[in-house]
Chains A and B, each alone.
Chain A
Amino acid sequence: MMTLKQSRRLQSVALGGLSWLIALLIFFPILWMVLTSFKTEIDAFATPPLFFFHPTLENYIHIQERSDYLHFAWNSIAISFSATILCLLIAVPAAYSMAFYETKRTKQTLLWMLSTKMLPPVGVLMPIYLLAKGTGLLDTKLALIIIYTLVNLPIVVWMVYTYFKDVPRDILEAARLDGATLLQEMLRVLLPISKGGLASTALLSLILCWNEAFWSLNLSSSQAAPLTALIASYSSPEGLFWAKLSAVSTLACAPILIFGWISQKQLVRGLSFGAVK
């Protein structure tokens, strides 16, 4: 006979094991990519796949010789951060007005904004390409910053709106009666209260920008190309070099993974509950 306590413990051990298994499954492709990046091209192709091998840095050395990683990384950083900041600068006032001065059309506006995400980007490739070309913004960081800002704006407005909705109106009204101007109300009351939510929104936007490939491949070539373009340059034209592709992918993912890791505490807090209650 198992006591209640024993069966509870068994249950929690089983659940724990299951969670680990799922986590490992999800993480496996990344692990495999990192492992592959340290293999020789021959080892990378081996069947059955090799778990134990002589690690080598030759892929990384090759990449360093062939292309300027830092140039691409800087482009990624500059574009992602600028687009995120610009996006928040637009989204915060928009979400503020929708959350605290709701009208009959607020809900529709939100839905309409989100619906723009349902259009396949390739559907507007032509006009946007021509616009970029016409304005001389082709292959500039500015073009990508503008595009990323616009592409992420619906999601960011939506998220910020949800976090603002959690902030009781009374608190903002109290600030107003305390003599706060609109700007003071935002900077000294609303934003500090929702900083957890804003941080997770910013992080999400950063990740989306960092990983964006469609627009960067189509609107940039050398000058403004971010890391996603660098990865792409290692695929088809010279045949598939799995090990080098893995190495360049690892290099491309690493900064945002590390950044995400560092800020994950904020992210989890922001995603799991509103800042106030």
Chain B
Amino acid sequence: MATLKLKNLKKGFEGLQIIKGIDLEVLDKEFVVFVGPSGCGKSTLLRLIAGLEDVSSGHIELDGRDITEVSPAKRDLAMVFQTYALYPHMTVRKNMSFALDLAGGDKAEVQRKVDDAARILELTPLLDRKPRQLSGGQRQRVAIGRAIVRNPKIFLFDEPLSNLDAALRVQMRLELARLHQELQATMIYVTHDQVEAMTLANKVVVLNGGRIEQVGSPLELYHHPANLFVAGFLGTPKMAFLKGKVSAVDTGGCEVSLDAGLQLALPHSSAALKVGDPVTLGIRPEHLELATAGQPGLSVTADVSERLGSDTFCHVLADSGEPLTVRLRGDLNNPYGQRLQLHLGAEHCHLFDANGDAVSHALRAAA
């Protein structure tokens, strides 16, 4: 059992506010990912939870107990650092048993736990090596092993994969997902990589500038971004944004006239929406397609294409100069420089008001 509650948590460094009031609940056995651009305060938030930084104000509760003032040594949390932070003068075995040795655990029992963790992580043949004799991936596994051995209430990960090469990163990502299943542990994971967030999390917390933008399951965030920031942050290639104005409103929908030159009836509505309001329409690459003859479409000029084999991501420019990305078939000829007509499926569009907040979608809200 491990649940964590953050209550209006704030942190500043030398007068500069970095964490600006975070309220969050982490449930037992949950895999929570903090994601956000570099410098948004993810690491700081994690370090506040770990107790490595003192909070400026607010409270942290672990299993109902206020641990805001408890030292990191007594919080019973384990952290895996981006730099691995292995003890360079100790063998892998010693690295993994260090915490239990400090706690004065029974020697045989400690050995057994280290051996178990080593087996799970396939580190058994490396137990007597020093960290400098290991590759990056192996070091990362030792760092994870060091956390597992302790059987902590919560695992904290700070960008654990960002020092690994691409292939290893994918492999370790899978291993972490498997580990979460096997250990049935509560994990909090920090990353700036939205793919890691999407693939690993039960619950994604999107942070920006020290505030939470949105919390939800990966697909919730993907399909129902609460604002422009979340919409633009999750998904690769990024969602395209087209500016426009509301030209008509009625119950259950509205009509938008885009600067790029298209009138579109959308199933989005809100009480606050008025004719003439500036809005932003968002659409993902997979929801754009080439218009069939006679279909009203958005005229664009094709720029470069990225061909991945399975798909082609074609970058295009609308007449308003706004860039869009279209996912096309993998075997398509390069349309560079051509004029294309794109069909925007109204049901897939996202609409954001002048503040950047999502206007709710009548059909999806019901679903």
Binding site for B on A (CB under 8 A): 168, 170-171, 173-181, 184, 188-189, 192-193, 275-276
Contacts and interface: CB of A to CB of B under 8 A. Distances in A.
A173 B74 CA distance: 13
Nearest to B143: A174
A197 to B, nearest CB: 13
The 6 A-B pairs of least Cβ separation, nearest first, read A170-B85, A178-B99, A174-B85, A170-B81, A179-B73, A192-B89
Contacts of B98: 175, 178, 188
B99 to A, nearest CB: 4
A181 B51 CA distance: 14
Given A171-B88, A192-B89, A179 B99 contact: yes
A177 B89 contact: no
Nearest to A174: B85
Nearest to A171: B85
Given A179-B99, A193-B89, A276-B88, A174 B81 contact: yes
Contacts of A276: 88
A180 B150 CA distance: 13
A177 B88 contact: no
A174 B86 CA distance: 8
Interface string B130-171: 000000000000000010001000000000000000000000
B333 to A, nearest CB: 51
Contacts of A174: 79, 81, 85-87, 146
15 contacts: A170-B82, A170-B83, A171-B87, A174-B81, A174-B146, A176-B52, A177-B72, A177-B73, A177-B77, A178-B102, A179-B73, A179-B99, A179-B103, A193-B87, A276-B88
Contacts of B82: 170
Nearest to B71: A176
A179 B102 contact: yes
Interface string B86-125: 1111000000001100110000000000000000000000
A276 B50 CA distance: 25
Interface in B60-85: 71-75, 77-79, 81-83, 85
Contacts of B72: 173, 176-177
A170 B89 CA distance: 15
B78 A177 contact: yes
Contacts of A189: 87
Contacts of A177: 50-52, 72-73, 75, 77-79
A174 B150 CA distance: 13
Contact of B83 (A168, A178, A179): A168
Interface of B: 50-52, 71-75, 77-79, 81-83, 85-89, 98-99, 102-103, 146, 150
A204 to B, nearest CB: 22
Given A178-B102, A179-B103, A180-B102, 17 more contacts: A168-B83, A170-B85, A171-B86, A171-B88, A173-B50, A173-B72, A173-B85, A174-B81, A176-B71, A176-B73, A177-B52, A178-B146, A179-B74, A184-B102, A189-B87, A193-B89, A275-B88
A170 B163 CA distance: 15
A174 B51 CA distance: 11
A158 B103 CA distance: 34
B88 A173 contact: no
Contacts of B88: 171, 193, 275-276
A171 B85 CA distance: 5
B48 to A, nearest CB: 13
Contacts of B78: 177-178
A192 B52 CA distance: 22
Contacts of A184: 102
Contacts of B50: 173, 177
Contacts of B75: 177
Contact of B73 (A168, A170, A181, A188): A181
Contacts of B79: 173-174, 177
A177 B152 CA distance: 10
A180 B85 contact: no
Contacts of A192: 89
Contacts of A275: 88
A164 to B, nearest CB: 14
A179 B73 CA distance: 4
**A178, A181, A275 — which one has the most chain B CB atoms within 10 A of its CB?**
A178
Contacts of A188: 98
A8 B72 CA distance: 58
Contacts of B83: 168, 170
Contacts of B99: 178-179
A177 B81 CA distance: 11
B39 to A, nearest CB: 18
**B82, B87, B150 — which one has the most chain A CB atoms within 10 A of its CB?**
B87
A276 B102 CA distance: 23
Contacts of A168: 83, 85
A173 B150 contact: no
Contact of B87 (A175, A176, A179, A181): A175
